[in-house]
Chains A and B, each alone.
Chain A
Amino acid sequence: MNEQEIKKILQELYVLQPDLAVRERELKKIILKLVADRPPAEINEAFKKELRAEILRLASSSRPWPQEDARGFSLSRLWSVRGLVFSLGGVALIVAGLAVYLNQLDSKPATQVSPAGLTIEKLSANAFGVLPSQELIQSSGRGGVSSGGLGVGGAKTLTSAPSAGDVESQSDVDMIGGVNYKFVYSGNITPPAERLDVLKRLTGQAVKLETTNLAGFLGQGLADIGTFSGLKIQSVSLVQDSDHGYQLDVNFDMGTIAISELWNQWYSNDGSVGSCVDPANCATEQLTEADIPDDDALIKLANDFLIEHGVGLDNYGQAQVQNQWRGTAETLKFGLAGYIPEIIQVFYPLRIGDRLVYTIDGSPSGLYVDVNLRQNKVSNVTGLAVQHYESSSYKTIQEVAQIKSMVEQGGVYANYSYPNAEKTVELSLGDPSVQFVSLPRLDTDGYQEYLVPAYVFPIVKVPEGEQYWQKNIVIPLVKEFYDNQAGGGIEPVSKPLLEKEVAPAE
Chain B
Amino acid sequence: MDETKIIRKCQQGEMSEFAVLYDRYADKIYKFIYYKTSHRETAEDLTSQTFFKALEAIGSFNSSRGKFSSWLYRIARNLVIDYYRTKKNIEDISDIWGLSDDGDLAVDLDVRQNVQRVREYLGNIKPEHREVVIMRLWDELSYQEIASITGKSVASCKMSFVRAMARLREELAYVMAGIILLINNLF
**Complex contacts, A35 vs chain B, CB 8 Å:** 137-138
Within 8 A of B (CB), among A149-199: 149-152, 154, 169, 172
A278 interface hit (Cβ, 8 Å): yes
Q: Contacts A37-B114, A67-B9, A274-B71 known; A280 to B82 CB distance under 8 Å?
A: yes
B59 interface hit (Cβ, 8 Å): yes
Which of A5, A149, A379 has a CB less than 8 Å from the CB of B140? A5
**Is chain B's interface secondary structure helix, strand, loop, or mixed overall?**
helix
B161 with A55: CB separation less than 8 A: no
Q: Which chain B residue shows the least CB distance to A372?
A: B62
| Chain-B contact segment, one of A86-94, A116-124, A320-328, A434-442 | A320-328
Q: Shortest beta-carbon distance, A45 to chain B, in Å?
A: 10
B11 with A341: CB separation less than 8 A: yes
A505 interface hit (Cβ, 8 Å): no
Q: Give a binary string over B49-82; 1 marks a CB under 8 Å from any A CB, 0 the rest.
A: 0011111110111101111001100110010001
**Complex contacts, A379 vs chain B, CB 8 Å:** 64
Q: Which chain B residue shows the least CB distance to A33?
A: B121
Expressed in whole angstroms, the Cα–Cα distance for A279 and B80 within the complex equals 13
Which of A72, A147, A152, A278 is the most central at the interface, judged by chain B CB atoms within 10 Å of its CB?
A147
**Complex contacts, A41 vs chain B, CB 8 Å:** 30-31, 34-35, 43
**Complex contacts, A342 vs chain B, CB 8 Å:** 60, 62
Expressed in whole angstroms, the Cα–Cα distance for A20 and B166 within the complex equals 8
Expressed in whole angstroms, the Cα–Cα distance for A30 and B110 within the complex equals 23
Expressed in whole angstroms, the Cα–Cα distance for A332 and B40 within the complex equals 31
Expressed in whole angstroms, the Cα–Cα distance for A365 and B48 within the complex equals 36
Expressed in whole angstroms, the Cα–Cα distance for A380 and B151 within the complex equals 25
Size bracket, chain A contacts: 35 or more
Size bracket, chain B contacts: 35 or more
B158 with A26: CB separation less than 8 A: no
| Chain-B contact segment, one of A96-104, A265-273, A300-308, A416-424 | A265-273
A55 with B66: CB separation less than 8 A: no
B133 with A341: CB separation less than 8 A: no
Which of B12, B111, B148, B162 has a CB less than 8 Å from the CB of A67? B12
Which of A63, A71, A279, A325 has a CB less than 8 Å from the CB of B78? A279
Expressed in whole angstroms, the Cα–Cα distance for A41 and B54 within the complex equals 22
Q: Give a binary string over A34-68; 1 marks a CB under 8 Å from any B CB, 0 the rest.
A: 11011111111001100110111011101101111
Q: Contacts A30-B168, A147-B17 known; A68 to B12 CB distance under 8 Å?
A: yes
B62 with A275: CB separation less than 8 A: yes
Q: Contacts A16-B162, A274-B62 known; A51 to B47 CB distance under 8 Å?
A: yes
A40 with B22: CB separation less than 8 A: no
Within 8 A of B (CB), among A329-358: 332, 334, 336-337, 339-343
A149 with B14: CB separation less than 8 A: yes
Q: Shortest beta-carbon distance, B184 to chain A, in Å?
A: 20
A26 with B64: CB separation less than 8 A: no
Which of A9, A37, A42, A141 has a CB less than 8 Å from the CB of B118? A37
**Complex contacts, A60 vs chain B, CB 8 Å:** 15-16
Within 8 A of A (CB), among B1-54: 1, 5, 8-9, 11-19, 22-23, 26-27, 30-31, 34-35, 38, 40, 43-44, 47-48, 51-54
Give me 10 A-to-B residue pairs in the complex whose CB atoms sit less than 8 angstroms apart, sorted by A's number: A20-B166, A26-B169, A31-B137, A41-B34, A48-B27, A70-B12, A325-B11, A340-B59, A342-B60, A469-B14
Q: Report which B residues bind A (CB closer than 8 A).
A: 1, 5, 8-9, 11-19, 22-23, 26-27, 30-31, 34-35, 38, 40, 43-44, 47-48, 51-57, 59-62, 64-67, 70-71, 74-75, 78, 82, 110-111, 114-115, 117-118, 121-122, 133, 136-138, 140, 143, 147-148, 151-152, 158-159, 161-162, 165-166, 168-169, 172-173
Report, nearest first, the 8 A-B pairs whose CB atoms are least far apart.
A273-B66, A59-B15, A271-B151, A336-B56, A63-B15, A41-B34, A39-B111, A339-B59
